Chains A and B, each alone.
Chain A
């Protein structure tokens, strides 16, 4: 892995929010992290430690207030379709159908209509929602909504996939299914993924590496390699002794922080 390129590099990144009342909140303080190209990296940590904040900084929808945040060697300035963002609560446009949502990014790229519907249709089918093209989001279950959100993001083919607790609002079964589907999608089309979760098992199952954050103001406390280089992702290894040990190791790191916060 050492020879693979660094896709995203954070050096001493910090973010201070100014709330409407005027007081400032230091959400993250000095985050150092390197994410390699086509790596699947998860971030875990106590809630409120600044995981989402970090992700939004990478997405460019928030601005850093300190440190350096770089993608492909250039500082990140503002949002762009090279970094797709998937939210816990889906953030689908409720006034657009499934098709309309998946097409949105392609419309903005100026793709002609036949091409974008073709591509959208393909993706909708790929995430298992064939037949739901003309349905509005409020009629879909949580799992279906997140599939649409995933399809919408994959449609414009970002290099980096940023996911903020994407399966956090789903029931346990749907969650397992979605994890497998995500891994499949990820192995089909290689992407750099930063995945936030509060579920340590999920993190270990999905990721190449797991970064553990400290309580707020968040920093990276430790990074744990969870998948041997070259080994394939899959459901099989969740039974193994090694998997269980990794989960326990990371969980104890997180627990210490939860106790602090």
Chain B
């Protein structure tokens, strides 16, 4: 799903010498980019006012890690992200599946969902700041509300899309109406739920950073903004890198989790 995941490993051929691994390995282009950056700034091709040297960024990163500044803001961001995202997942899956199962709920919620789904979720930020203040709560609420719609929609679609022949097979073999949910509907909806949730994960980070930049005085988004206004470009880059890394790690972890759960979809296992 991420570009080339699992494919690019075979680009250079099956047997690779250490030199090939070093110069042509999967992540070596990143190293080239960084080297070009460092050289261009060191040689003065790009003014340091616009782009700090990579080595300075690393130094700032180390300094801010040791001083505890970076970990503190990172923890604040992680907490908001985790609270908002996980509650939206739990709640969204429940509502989505309940809607698929119960006609009444579907009739009640579907028009509202249709109305709200296309809203760019960032539009919620100003309102929630006014309502809930500039602390943790408003950010968690932004993430929760921004993510819950895609999760509901994908769970609903997933549960509705379960092959009716599977449901029939289960009913024939003696599965009761209530157990059907756990035995067939949820496993059948899982691929949809998981891919919808992955989209929500990406959205959640945007909302986290946006709302942190707009209000409050903690979190990596705030730190980035604060350091840019203070003119500390190297520090700002360190904060940006940390956020990018968190986003990347979250996505990778999620992908692994998804692959593990959906092991039955893989065509090449064993």
A-to-B contact residues, CB < 8 Å: 56, 59-61, 78-81, 83-85, 87, 89, 91, 93-97, 104-105, 108-109, 134-139, 152, 156
- In the A-B complex, list the 10 residue pairs whose CB atoms are closest, starting with the nearest: A108-B174, A91-B165, A105-B173, A136-B264, A61-B168, A79-B172, A79-B171, A95-B187, A95-B264, A91-B169
Q: Which of chain A's residues have a CB closer than 8 A to the CB of B169?
A: 85, 87, 91, 93, 152
Q: Which of chain B's residues have a CB closer than 8 A to the CB of A139?
A: 267, 269-270
Are A81 and B172 closer than 8 Å at their CB atoms?
A: yes
Cross-chain pair count, CB within 8 angstroms:
66
Listed by A's residue number, 23 A-B pairs whose Cβ atoms lie within 8 Å are A56-B168, A59-B172, A60-B172, A61-B171, A61-B172, A79-B168, A79-B172, A81-B174, A83-B172, A87-B169, A93-B169, A93-B170, A93-B184, A93-B187, A105-B174, A134-B270, A135-B270, A137-B264, A138-B264, A138-B267, A139-B270, A152-B169, A156-B174
Are A93 and B166 closer than 8 Å at their CB atoms?
A: yes
Are A91 and B168 closer than 8 Å at their CB atoms?
A: yes
Q: Other than A89-B165, A136-B263, give 5 A-B pairs with Cβ distance below 8 A.
A: A91-B165, A93-B170, A93-B187, A95-B188, A109-B174
- Give chain B nearest CB distance to A62 CB in angstroms: 9
Residue from A60, A80, A134 in contact with B174 in the complex, judged by beta carbons closer than 8 Å: A80
Q: Which of chain A's residues have a CB closer than 8 A to the CB of B184?
A: 93
- Give 1 or 0 for each of B172-188: 1 = CB within 8 Å of chain A CB: 11110000000010011
B-to-A contact residues, CB < 8 Å: 163, 165-166, 168-175, 184, 187-188, 190, 263-267, 269-270
In angstroms, Cα B193 to Cα A14, docked, is 39
In angstroms, Cα B187 to Cα A108, docked, is 17
In angstroms, Cα B269 to Cα A87, docked, is 26
- Give chain B nearest CB distance to A55 CB in angstroms: 11
Interface of A, secondary structure class, is loop
- Give chain A nearest CB distance to B177 CB in angstroms: 10
- Give chain A nearest CB distance to B163 CB in angstroms: 7
Q: Which of chain A's residues have a CB closer than 8 A to the CB of B188?
A: 95
In angstroms, Cα B166 to Cα A109, docked, is 18
Q: Which of chain A's residues have a CB closer than 8 A to the CB of B190?
A: 95
Q: Which of chain B's residues have a CB closer than 8 A to the CB of A136?
A: 263-264, 269
- Give chain A nearest CB distance to B171 CB in angstroms: 4
Are B173 and A156 closer than 8 Å at their CB atoms?
A: yes
- Give chain A nearest CB distance to B65 CB in angstroms: 43
Q: Which residue of A has the minimal Cβ distance to B184?
A: A93
Are B187 and A81 closer than 8 Å at their CB atoms?
A: no
Known contacts A93-B184, A93-B187, A95-B190; is A81 also within 8 Å of B173 by CB? yes
